[in-house]
Amino acid sequence: MKKFLITGGAGFIGSHVVRRFVNTYPDYNIVNLDKLTYAGNLANLKDLEDKPNYRFVKGDIVDQQFIDELFETEQFDAVIHLAAESHVDRSITNPIEFVLTNVVGTVNLLNSARKFWKGRYEECRFYHVSTDEVYGTLGEDGLFTEETPYDPHSPYSASKASSDHFVRAYHDTYGLNTVISNCSNNYGSYHFPEKLIPLAINNIKNSKAVPVYGKGENVRDWLWVEDHARAIDVVFHKARAGDTYNIGGHNEWKNIDLIRLLCRIMDRKLGRAEGTSEKLITFVTDRAGHDLRYAIDSTKLQRELGWSPSLQFEEGLEKTVDWYLANEEWLNNVTSGKYQEYYSQQYKL
Ligand code: NAD
Ligand code: TYD
């Protein structure tokens, strides 16, 4: 397989996946298709601009004709699909965007793959990148496995669950060679500061209130983004057609404990007295329908395909803080203009 379409490659995880594939596989030609929404940023891929096996195309996966034309001219053999509306809070405010991009956009890509790959389904692969949020929420115990029934609660997770179902349906009905992975929360460089970790880093840096929803008791399972990109690489190359893998860090943190750890790291890095940043923690109204706990059992991926996470969380978080402090220009650019509007509407702080 030589000709790849990666969608959403200008976003957080997509940029790491594109970087990994472009640099690891010089014989793969990679087209990165991205609409460049508020979350897409070509500055995430500056180091790849001159690579001979990489090309950026601006476009919308909701436009079926455009996707068909791209498949026709580029003759892809593989799709790694990451383009999505990805933020739960935005899905609560504006669900229809999530239906369009996450559901309709995914079905459009499946339709093009089905049409242009006719007669060679076995050699072409459609990889759909999904989330653990499709499984709903856990109580105090237990882990999500690949057998956990889907039970999404937010418009975001409902749209991702729907897209997963369509991908499976195209495998079961038409025989398309599909693979799905469901990953836990990612963190690392190029993460847009609307999500918890980069938002908190930016606010602590600027000595602004750090909003924690409810009592900060919700638990997430955090994975370093480059470990996710490596898992996608392994799953893409080794999984059986129609299979699913869960990807996670075995790294559960209550939001409030995570934020306290981040405050301590930031105090140290910024030369502030211990305890300074913790004073910024501000408990705010809880998110509607807020899932209590996510935690992934990635035994299948570890056992069958030999993947495991590489970084301890403290080390990864420290690397992440270092990246944001060293990339002030990137952070200032993405938090100017429209971000300020979003922030004041969302938080009223
Ligand atoms: P992101 O919001 O940072 O990036 C999404 C990208 O998709 C952006 O570059 C955006 O411009 C592009 N995009 C949006 N709508 C588009 C459209 N209609 N056509 C073309 N491009 C469009 O998201 P992310 O955090 O990098 O997530 C990437 C994928 O991984 C998503 O499918 C998400 O559901 C999944 N995922 C994310 C996490 C996480 O922790 N962030 C965890 C598990 C799975
Ligand atoms: P987020 O990064 O939005 O990821 P997800 O909702 O997909 O898990 O949120 C992670 C956790 O942090 C989640 O429990 C909600 C919480 N949270 C806050 O407490 N404050 C915030 O400002 C944000 C954005 C999230």
Here the CATH number for the domain that contains residue 108 is 3.40.50.720
- Residue-wise pLDDT for 31-45, tens only, equals 999 999 999 999 999
Q: What average pLDDT score do residues 131-145 get?
A: 97
Q: Which atom of ligand 2 lies nearest, measured to the CA of 89?
A: 3
Residue 120 lies in a domain: yes
Distance in Å, CA 267 to ligand 1 centroid: 31
Strand pairing class (29-34; 3-7): parallel
What is the dihedral sign for C-alpha 119, 62, 130, 333?
Answer: positive
Question: pLDDT category, 249, cuts 50, 70, 90?
Answer: confident
Ligand 2 within 6 A of CB of 211: yes
CB 334 within 8 A of CB 214: no
Q: Is residue 337 part of a domain?
A: no
Catalytic site residues?
A: 132-133, 156
Ligand nearest to the CA of 91: 2
Total structural domains in the chain?
A: 1
- What residues does ligand 1 touch, defined as CB less than 6 Å away? 7-8, 10-14, 34-37, 39-40, 60-62, 82-86, 101, 105, 129-131, 160, 183, 185-186, 192
At which residue do the structure tokens 């499709």 appear? 134
pLDDT digits (tens, 9 = 90+) for 206-245: 999 999 999 999 999 999 999 999 999 999 999 999 999 9
Task: Enter the pTM of the model.
Answer: 0.98
Residue 83 domain flag: yes
Contact residues for 171 (Cβ-Cβ < 8 A; gap 6+): 177, 178, 241, 242
φ/ψ of residue 248, rounded to 5:
-160, 165
| Ligand 2 contact, 196 CB (< 6 A) | yes
Pair of tokens at residue 342: 């979003």
Q: Whose CA is nearest to atom 3 of ligand 2?
A: 195
Report the chain's mean pLDDT, rounded to a whole number: 97
Percent with pLDDT over 90 in the chain:
98
Report the alpha-carbon distance of residue 156 to residue 307 in Å, rounded.
28
199 touches ligand 2 (CB under 6 Å): yes
Mutate to test the pocket of ligand 2, among 133, 156, 195 (most ligand atoms within 8 A of CB): 195
CB contact at 8 A, 225 and 197: no
Q: Is the residue at 147 inside a domain?
A: yes
Q: Is 11 contained in some domain? A: yes
CB atoms within 10 A of CB 257: 13
| Cα distances (Å, whole numbers) of residue 296 to 23, 155, 185 | 29, 21, 10
Do the domain assignments include residue 207? no
Q: How far is the CA of 262 from the centre of ligand 1 (A)?
A: 24
| 1: pLDDT strictly greater than 70 | no
Instruction: Please name every residue paired with 144 in a beta bridge, in sequence order, or none if there are none.
Output: 296
Residue 292 lies in a domain: no
Distance 254 CA to ligand 2 centre (A): 11
Mean pLDDT, residues 94-120 taken together:
98
Domain assignment present for residue 18? The answer is: yes
**303-341, pLDDT tens digit by residue?**
999 999 999 999 999 999 999 999 999 999 999 989 999
> How many Å lie between the centroid of ligand 2 and the Cα of residue 196?
5
